[in-house]
Amino acid sequence: MLNSKPRKILIVGGGTAGWMAANLLAAKWQDVDICLVESKDIGIIGVGEGSTPHLKLFFDAINVSDQQWMPQCNATYKNGITFDKWSSIAGFESYFHPFAAQIDDVFTLPLFFKHIQARMQGYAVDAHPDKYFLETYLTRQHLGPLPAESFPFGMAYGYHFDSALLGQFLADQAQRSGVTRIEGHVTDVELNQQGHISAVKLSDGMSLAADFFIDCSGFNALLLQQGLGVNFTSYKQNLFNDAAVVMPSAIAERLPVETRSTALTNGWAWKIPLSNRFGNGYVYSRDYIDADQAETELRQHLGLLDADVEARHLRMKVGRVEKHWHKNCLAVGLSQGFIEPLEATAIALSFNTIAQFMQYFQQGHFSNQFEDEFNKDINARFDGIRDYIVCHYKANQRQDSDYWRDNASNTHLSDNLNNILHLWQHSHDFVGDMYKHNLMGSYQPKSWACMLAGYGVFPPLRPDKSVDKAIIRREMDALNDFIRRCGLNFQDHHALLAKLAD
């Protein structure tokens, strides 16, 4: 067991996870020798083109501005995600899931929650989330998330990017910060007498020793799972999807500021705007549809049935390891687990894992003192995101395939998710009770409420509960006017990106 800062850290794998880890380590622990080994024969997964606001936190941590990286990665801004056709309730065929914004807490959220509570009691109040948020307004107007300097509220935003270009950018940045890149194919993991990793062996016979190892070897999970035998917990019972087919399409004239997620017959399709193309993918379950059928359905959905566009097929392993940090090894990225890309959370999880590990490791004077606490935290993050994503499937009311019917009747729900759904149906103070019972997990009440209200999960209207329509109209008019005036502080997405590239 180490009790002093490692002299040498070896990262195995040069995908997004590996180079993110390399950059963060190099930025914070300049006195440590950091090496990364990657196999050109295997390559990277090369998908994953959407992020949450955590990517901004990562770039802030390594001191890289939007201007430095976005133009090089064909990146665009993201205000959130529109979910199309997940609900079949009239008036709820589509809703927008915004990121957080400071303005919400003060002005928009209180009215949204008040109207939800009224609607849950049967009052005829329009509680569709699209009516309540500045981020939704900006997205519908194709406005980017960066306000004028005089605007007093901060906005959280994510990005869309070309994952291969992002990988290259991060690799160059890390090597400029002193990280050594080695090309090699790892064939073996060598353990010492205490069962710690002492070295990895390459196919050319070379051995790479280090004090600490970071497993970023993707779904292969060479070090933590294969080398140290840490168990993997599958989410397959909760989340059915295990494959994807991806292909590009031509970008629209007006550049969207959102990801679109459209429910198809046996899964869902993403549409992600980059500055030069859309990235598209159909995430589906092989238990319900095969790869050829999925490709045909995606082509139909995109209007590319006869087009000469190449499709890529991928498998996904959904779940997480039981321990992300074990002995002298930390797993980051697909090697530690994957949920599914519905909320584009994988990069966020990688960032959280590395940042939190560095904090705990340092706080424990580079011993394993906080290993259990760390693993508990990261497991809770994974399970919290899983629950939020499972709820998208559980709450659907589509009847057009066994896939959707089986998802709606799936009883493999965590206690947390069952409790949240119970509160939604029965609590008179959904938000207060979420906090009281510590149920947020990885998502705030705003996100849960946007999803459930966006699907139209409400009881029938009650004729005995009457509302003063004039008051509601006045409240909504004031809110809409406020949002519209706030919108004057934001610029067209295209113009914003053009400025970055100047």
Ligand X SMILES: Cc1cc2nc3c(=O)[nH]c(=O)nc-3n(C[C@H](O)[C@H](O)[C@H](O)COP(=O)(O)OP(=O)(O)OC[C@H]3O[C@@H](n4cnc5c(N)ncnc54)[C@H](O)[C@@H]3O)c2cc1C
Query: For residues 318 and 237, what is the distance between their CA atoms, to the nearest angstrom?
Result: 10
Shortest Å, Cβ 287 to ligand X = 17
Residue 164 in contact with ligand X, rule: CB under 6 A:
no
Options 214-222, 289-297, 382-390, 464-472: segment touching ligand X (CB under 6 A): 214-222
The pair of three-digit structure tokens given for residue 470, joined into one six-digit string:
């004039």
Are the beta carbons of 148 and 489 closer than 8 angstroms?
A: yes
Spot the catalytic one: 28, 40, 56, 78. 78
223 binds ligand X (CB under 6 A): no
Q: Strand 243-249 relative to strand 278-284: parallel, antiparallel, unpaired?
A: antiparallel
Residue number, 316 or 423, with CB nearest to ligand X:
316
Q: For the window 98-137, what string marks contact with ligand X as x by the rule CB under 6 A?
A: ----------------------------------------
- The answer to whether residues 169 and 58 touch, using CB atoms and an 8 Å cutoff, is no
Q: How far is the CB of 500 from ligand X (least distance, A)?
A: 21
272-331 residues in contact with ligand X (CB under 6 A) are 281, 314, 316
Interacting residue with ligand X among 6, 9, 11, 18 (CB under 6 A): 18
Q: How far is the CB of 280 from ligand X (least distance, A)?
A: 11
Query: Could you say which residues in the range 227-266 bind ligand X, by CB under 6 A?
Result: 244
Q: Is the distance from CB of 425 to CB of 121 less than 8 angstroms? A: no
Q: Is 454 a residue that touches ligand X (CB under 6 A)?
A: no
- Given the complex with ligand X, which of 220 and 419 has the nearer CB atom? 220
Q: Which is nearer to ligand X, 139 or 491 (CB)?
A: 139
Q: Are 77 and 145 in contact (CB under 8 A)?
A: yes
Place of tokens 């906090």: 435
Considering only residues 337-396, where is the footprint of ligand X by CB under 6 A?
341, 344, 346-347
Of positions 10, 11, 17, 420, contacts ligand X by CB under 6 A = 17
Residue with tokens 């989410």: 235
Known catalytic residue at 78 = yes
Q: Locate the DSSP E strands across 406-492.
A: 490-492
Q: Of the ranges 215-223, 226-234, 397-405, 491-499, which one interacts with ligand X (CB under 6 A)? A: 215-223
CA distances 402 to 97, 203, 240, 283, 482, Å, are 26, 46, 12, 16, 44
Q: Do 479 and 115 contact (CB within 8 A), yes or no?
A: no
Angle at 260 between CA 73 and CA 238, to 5 degrees: 105
If binding is defined by CB under 6 A, does position 44 make contact with ligand X? yes
Q: Which one, 116 or 348, has the nearer CB to ligand X?
A: 348
Q: Which of 283, 269, 271 is nearest to 241 (CA)?
A: 283
* Shortest CB 43 distance to ligand X, Å: 6
Q: Give the Cα separation of 342 and 472 in Å (integer).
A: 34
- The size of the chain, in residues, is 502
Angle at 166 between CA 161 and CA 172, to 5 degrees: 160
Candidates 488, 486, 495, 490; CA nearest to 133 is 486
* Residues belonging to the active site: 78
Query: What residues make contact with ligand X under the rule CB under 6 A?
Result: 12-18, 37-39, 42-45, 47-51, 163, 185-186, 216-218, 220, 222, 244, 281, 314, 316, 333-335, 341, 344, 346-347
